[in-house]
Amino acid sequence: MTHTTIAIGRDAPFKEVVELIEQWHVSALPVLEGEGRVIGVVSEADLLPKEELRDADPTRYDVLRRLSDMAKAGAVTAGELMSSPAVTVHADATLAEAARIMARRRVKRLPVVDASGLLQGVVSRSDLLKVFLREDEDIAEEIRGSVLASLPSSEGIEVRVQQGVVTLVGTLRDKALVPVLARAARAVEGVVDIRLDLSHAVSEP
């Protein structure tokens, strides 16, 4: 996440919100109250109704049914513009959890908060994608040290990583461990995909 975070108070005027978004090249700003508790988020989407509905006929049905957009079109402060409660992620969440929240809630940036709801930073889509810049050998070392070392009957499994794609080669004594191994390796940060080239030892009758 990015620890240096631009945020605003609920009384920040509309124009200041636009200026900060433009100045810092971000798509959304957390709205804070008190000692830094996140109470909402103002995004570019929250700002657009003011321009979109500038000359709209307020009696038209398609405009009337978008009451929230009409309210945002008349908003002049961050508190009136913001989407609340804010979609946030806890500081101890994994990258995968943050990615799932972003996808499910269709947001580009997530305020990162502590247990008290105080802002700790912001994680963006670009932050999540940086994990795929991880070196292949770093990924291989983690799989060897964390995944294979904790899995029974995985001695002799070779780990190859190229461009983030992991190939596991060797013999696994217990066939039931194949999906477990694949799932654990896929969970390692930076892994793009998994390839399995595994045979299974046959026990003597």
Element (H, E) at 18: helix 14-24
| Among 20, 61, 16, 21, residue whose Cα is nearest residue 45 | 21
End-to-end CA gap in the chain: 55
CB 78 within 8 A of CB 39: no
Q: Which of 73, 72, 76, 93 is nearest to 84 (CA)?
A: 72
C-alpha count within 13 angstroms, C-beta hemisphere, residue 108: 10
pLDDT of residue 54: 67
Q: DSSP class of residue 113?
A: E
Residues in the chain where the model's pLDDT stays below 50? 61, 64-65, 203-205
Model pLDDT, residue 205: 44
Pairing of strands 89-90, 109-113: parallel
| SS3 category, 20 | helix
